[in-house]
Amino acid sequence: MDQVSAKAKVFIDGEAGTTGLLIRELLAPRADIALVSIDPDKRKDPAAKADVMASVDCVVLCLPDDAAKETVALADGLGARAPKILDASTAHRIAPGWVYGFAELGAGQAQAIRAGARVANPGCYATGAIALLRPLVEAGLVPADFPVTINAVSGYSGGGKSMIADYEARRSPDFELYALGLEHKHIPEIQAYSKLSRRVLFAPSVADFRQGMIVSIPLHLDLLPGKPSGRALEAALQAHYGTGGFVTVVGDAALQGEGGKLEPQALNDTNSMELRVHANDARAHAILTARLDNLGKGASRAAVQNLELMLGL
């Protein structure tokens, strides 16, 4: 495709869901992208869907996991006519042959996304957790077998249609823990891409606000190799992410005049994520935090970032 003279054609499979709707809203005004839709009556017709996929440059999957797998199988059957696929479901995040769509993961990751024919968009909680843990594990500050505990709170928009309806109808509590069976679907990707050998203990929660997220990881500094200071952890994060990107390390977090508080909605409607190290070296305690929009860097805006890389836009 001549990307100077032609628009990139994109089909969003599942455009009626929360993630798909926002992706469509973000892409619709663009002059370099043409959105292609399927007749609503033919959404479940495999032949009709295959024809649409063969006509576009990239398909974005905003589907349940099983449906995403079925659509990928359809694409595989197209051979040389198969489009690139960006999957926003959980189905392929640790699958062989798929590129993980977190461009800031490490050196070369953005280029891998550019070159990838199959890219898996990260989970919202996973984006924050991996962003905090991966640089510290690679720097040797957190051992791969360290018993990591992750706490997180999200706006209710990440919970799907039924949760959104319950909160907006005031049928749900102001705050609730969930996934207490300790089998949350983001755990495998968090462990894999943080380079951890021990399974993480993850406790997510949802509160009565529409969007926004904080992921937090408490650490006993005296149990880490070399007993690093909070500044050492912060320096490792700074060295990984640098400056000027979508992921920002906020320095000296405990001294930033935030009153020892952090609220989850400040980055709503952006593709930004802020990382902080809140440390009390005298107590050998630290809490790592990642703040992001669960619909932004945690879902739809990250998908648009990946699309731009995949399509060379």
> What is d(CA 70, CA 107) in angstroms, rounded to the nearest whole number?
32
* Token pair of 156 as six digits: 């209710």
CB 144 within 8 A of CB 205: no
228 and 100 share one domain: no
What pLDDT does 1 receive?
Answer: 45
189 and 287 share one domain: yes
- With 70 as the cut, is the pLDDT of residue 240 above it? yes
Number of domains in the chain: 2
DSSP labels, 79-117? GGGPPEEEE-SSTTTT-TT-EE--TTSSTTHHHHHHH-S
pLDDT tens, 139-181? 999 999 999 999 999 999 988 788 889 999 999 999 999 999 9
Identify the burial level of 129 via C-beta atoms within 10 angstroms of its C-beta, where 0-12 means exposed, 13-18 middle and 19 or more buried. Answer: buried
What pLDDT does 253 receive?
Answer: 63
140 and 249 share one domain: yes
pLDDT tens, 241-254? 998 899 999 987 65
pLDDT tens, 37-86? 998 888 888 899 999 999 999 999 999 999 999 999 999 999 999 999 99
Helix (H) or strand (E) holding 258: none
Query: CATH no. for residue 60?
Result: 3.40.50.720
Per-residue three-class SS string for 197-239: CCCCEEEEEEECCCCCEEEEEEEEHHHCCCCCCHHHHHHHHHH
Active site residue 58: no
Is-above-0.85 flag for pTM? yes
Asked if residue 280 is part of any domain, the answer here is: yes
Catalytic residue among 72, 91, 110, 124: 124
56 and 76 share one domain: yes
27 and 101 share one domain: yes
Asked if residue 81 is part of any domain, the answer here is: yes
The whole domain housing 280 covers: 124-294
* Beta bridge partner(s), residue 206: 154, 176
Confidence of residue 2 (pLDDT cuts 50, 70, 90): very low
244 and 115 share one domain: no
